[in-house]
Amino acid sequence: MAQCRKASPMSFLLRTTFVRLWSGEFHNDLSVLPLALLHKPDAEVDGEMISVYAVYFCRLGRLKCLIKPSERDISVGEGALIDVKLSSDKIWILKKDRLVMRNLSGPTETGDHMHIIVSEHEQYFGLQESVVAEQLLQNSEHAADDIFWLAHSVYPYAKEQISTRVSSIFMRFLFLPGIFHDRVLLATFRDLKKHFTHSEFRSLSADGIRKELISLMEHQGASRSPRALLHYWKNFYSRYLHNWSHENAPCGLLLDTSSGAIGLIRKSSISLLRCLEDIELLSFGMHA
């Protein structure tokens, strides 16, 4: 049976609450296994921390292991933590609204102690949620109004042409790669009381979907004025983004230890995160 002993006094164990544990890649040369431990240091405090440990295995007559904590813990901050992955030199922390990466160095030998050193610098990766929100004009109160006034300046006295141009621009954004999602669009139609069966919806062509969108706007009263049309498009975009976030919620991380590539698993897709670009790139999914 393996025996474990602590690297140093760890009295905080008596007052901490353990939440979750992740293991990294085993280092054959050093016989070390990195671990990430999510814990709540104090029951009276809401914040959670991640501590990184190095577990060393050795055979001196019998199997023994030595646990060495890192000298720096990682504060999780606000929001639920979804997943953590450890590679040989990085720790990836996935939350609902962001992905954070920190470099790990070591295990390195300092005197007779060996530790995994956690970098104090964080690198953030932009997730698709922020891109989709920007494309759907949700990051600014005035973005949709700017489109309206642009169309109004081109056709100052043609109400019908203003409405046609505004709808054309809004539909173009909706059909962008990574934005369009058939289940999201179907859910949004249903939210606004326009019901299709799955087979009926899948039989629609791109032009058919555009006609249904225009019909939906007219049914809600958007034909009264260009301003009313703008209001209903903004409401449609808001519902669409809500459904997009639900249908594409992040579920976990996928690490390729041979290449160091990190993938983000969503409910309906798999994305690749590239360190040089700091952004999530869709690799496979149901977005078209």
Where are the chain's structural domains?
A: 3-125, 132-247
What is the token pair recorded at 49? 């921390």
| Cβ atoms 252, 83 nearer than 8 A | yes
Counting beta carbons within 10 angstroms of the beta carbon of residue 236, is it exposed (0 to 12), middle (13 to 18) or buried (19 or more)? buried
pLDDT at res. 85? 92
pLDDT at res. 106? 67
pLDDT at res. 159? 60
pLDDT at res. 68? 72
- In angstroms, the CA 10 to CA 100 distance is 27
Low pLDDT (below 50) residues in the chain: 1-9, 110-113, 287-288
pLDDT at res. 208? 93
